[in-house]
Amino acid sequence: MASRVGRTFGILGLAVLAVAGHAPAATARTLTILAPELPPMVAADGTGREVSIIAETLAACGHTAVFKIVPFGRHWIDFRDGAAVDAVSTVPAGMAMPGARSVPYIRYQNGASVLKAGGLKVASLADLAGKRVVTFSGAPDVLPGLREAIPSFADFRERADQLVHSNLLFAGRVDAVLADGLIFAEYNRQLREKAGSGGGLPFDPAQDVVFTAIFPPTPYAMMFRDDALRGEFDRCHGDLVKSGRADAIDRDAIARYSSTVGDQYLPNR
């Protein structure tokens, strides 16, 4: 499993300058971005769907992005505590954070994942009444209706380490995982890889799963220390969208996990 200590990676991405139609900024800077380790959005090696969008957006403004990757949740705490960084990624709408908030630059598609063999059909949270549910830390503040539904579940757990979600589902210890479909699919892939290399797992990670997008897409923004940088990011992200590059990054990321998410990831995109 990926290390849980913070790491720093540089992403140049200068090739997108030609695509976005901007020359490098006169005050080009190397910007440090706090980001949570959430593969395949932000992987421990500094790659991922979200990394690409942020890095290419900033490169279009002439800047270089350097990512300081920390465990999910700690990125918000470190930023609030005054970490020496220029911005923090993956900030949900409504979360109180210091700094200047960017436009939403990425959408996650949260939903319910269940084992196909169990036959459980989930079209809404009401279908999980009496079931055992696991989700990510802070999910009741992000997923619409979840907090109100919690009393109806037989068991409810929040776990920051989302590899645990897949372990619990495949081991039959929960009935449903509420999480982003790509993140869930990536941890399943890691478990299958471990099993294939003789990892000796006490369950079969190759069991078929069904992911259903029962929540609306969740938009995330950046928070910048400097309002001028926020303005640059917003402008260059708009250019990335207009050029079609942002959509291409999304399509490539979703395609890699189509066997798990099917047509349910950002179904109305």
On whether the CB atoms of residues 69 and 7 are closer than 8 A, the answer is yes
Of 146, 196, 185, 145, which Cα lies nearest the Cα of 162? 185
Whether 7-107+219-259 and 110-212 share one fold: the answer is: yes
pLDDT digits over 195-235, tens only? 988 778 999 999 999 999 999 999 999 999 999 999 999 99
Region 183-194: mean pLDDT is: 96
The domain limits of the chain are: 7-107+219-259, 110-212
Q: Which CATH architecture has domain 7-107+219-259?
A: 3-Layer(aba) Sandwich (3.40)
Of 213, 172, 157, 165, which Cα lies nearest the Cα of 188? 165
pLDDT digits over 40-93, tens only? 999 999 999 999 999 999 999 999 999 999 999 999 999 999 999 999 999 999
Collect all residues with Cβ–Cβ distance below 8 Å to 116 and sequence separation of at least 6.
207, 208, 209, 210
On whether the CB atoms of residues 113 and 176 are closer than 8 A, the answer is yes
Q: Given this structure, which CATH class describes domain 110-212?
A: alpha beta
